[in-house]
Structure 1
């Protein structure tokens, strides 16, 4: 995949401190690592609770539970962010 792919991060609401809301603080590491790799990232809200999907060229290339991502990280040490980056590289 070229280094300038458009990556859509689809994410659902999740529970924190007793409230279920859309929050992107767990997605910042994912955004940072993909942006650093030269990709353009756009967040898209979906209704699926706790869901995260990365889509490139209309194809879902990576999925995970939003609660498994590190909170407020830069993505460099989060194993899921590294797997997501590799999945985007392998997309066509």
Structure 2
């Protein structure tokens, strides 16, 4: 799995798991916001998203928790770490 390549080629869906307020202060273009604490109640919506899911947050901690939870449900997802890193990779699209 080359996370950078998945992001650059737009193969999946970027999901920002920060709070709505954090998301509105800045986020990756085209990403969607599902706060970490909302993930369990939004599983059906999440299952409909184009996989793999690239999960991001401020530092990689919350996205790591989300990745662990979702992967246990059989959802293909990766911890992209900081949304700033994901944003950087996306800006390098070939």
Q: TM-score, normalised by structure 2?
A: 0.31
More strand by share: 1
More helix by share: 2
Q: TM-score, normalised by structure 1?
A: 0.32
